[in-house]
Structure formats: C-alpha cells, structure tokens
C-alpha cells in the first residue's frame, strides 16, 4: 500500500497524518509506505520579471520563496517525526516538498493541481487529505483543495479528514 498525505499547518492536516499512521501500522505488508507531500508557493516569474522595482524585487521574491521552502521542509520533518513517534518505521516514510508558482488568489487551485499531479505520477493507492472547511461563498465558486482532489481520485481510496 502506498499512501499519500497532503500536509499543511492546519489541524485537519495534523489529524490526517495521525490517521495515516494508523493506516500504515494496520497494514501487514512491510512494503507499505507513506509520502508526506507539501506545496510551497512562489511568485510567478512573469510578475518578478515585469517588476518596475528591478533587481530588489527579484531578490525579495527569491528570499520569500527560499524561506517558504525551508518552512515547508521543516513542516514535513515535524510530521515525519509524528509518524515515527506513532511507530511507523522511518524507512517507510518519504517526504516531498513541491514548489509551485502561484498568485495568492490561485493558491488553492495550484495546491490541488500539485497534489493531483503527485497522486497520479506516484501511483498511490490511498490519499489522505485534511479539509478545513471554507467560506460557503468561496466553496460554491471554487471548491476546496480536498474537493478538487476528490474529483480526480478515480480508482483510489480517498480519506478526507475534517478539522
């Protein structure tokens, strides 16, 4: 069994990691593994390139991206340690931090697309994702990340953990 767990800093994500630990520990096969997956935003290159502030803006944008990547990697490591503390062998835990260009208003869509891409390319059996619940108006137009992933999870087990 290959399990993909999408993680962020939400309570729902923490519950998803806890749920995934029980899934993996309940699996009799030594080949069962879990991948913790996090999406980090960076500013799109076309925005940085068109900035009238010149090199200073590009430097700040790069520093922001680097800091976000480091924070994402720290989050993944903390969640990995949560799994290890629950009894999941470290050798069965993988982490992936994917950096994607995104504008603030499209970050949910970009995160969902990155999770879907990883889900399909990694050939995972089970996907575990937290659902934070969104503003009803936003949900009616865009849907949340979990809902977008659910629409693409054909043939896979999908566990949506609510906060």
Cβ neighbours, 10 Å, residue 143? 17
Q: Does the 2-162 domain belong in CATH 3.40.50.620?
A: yes
Q: How far apart are CA 98 and CA 160, in angstroms?
A: 21
pLDDT-derived band of residue 142, with 50, 70 and 90 as boundaries? very low
pLDDT for the residue 137: 44
Residues 62-106 have pLDDT tens digits of 788 888 899 999 999 999 999 999 999 999 999 999 988 776 666
């Amino acid at each position: 069994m290959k399990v993909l767990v999408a993680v962020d800093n939400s309570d729902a994500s923490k519950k998803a990691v806890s749920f995934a630990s029980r899934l993996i520990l309940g699996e009799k096969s030594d080949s069962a593994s879990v991948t913790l997956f996090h999406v980090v935003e960076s500013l799109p290159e076309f925005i940085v390139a068109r900035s009238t502030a010149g090199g200073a803006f590009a430097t700040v944008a790069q520093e922001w991206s680097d800091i976000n990547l480091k924070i994402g990697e720290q989050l993944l490591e903390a969640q990995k340690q949560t799994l290890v503390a629950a009894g999941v062998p470290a050798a069965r835990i993988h982490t992936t931090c994917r950096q994607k260009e995104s504008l603030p208003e499209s970050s949910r869509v970009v995160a969902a697309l990155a999770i879907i891409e990883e889900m399909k390319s990694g050939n995972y059996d089970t996907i575990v994702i937290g659902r934070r619940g969104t503003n009803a108006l936003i949900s009616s137009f865009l849907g949340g990340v979990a809902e977008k992933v659910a629409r693409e999870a054909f043939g896979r087990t999908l566990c949506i953990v609510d906060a």
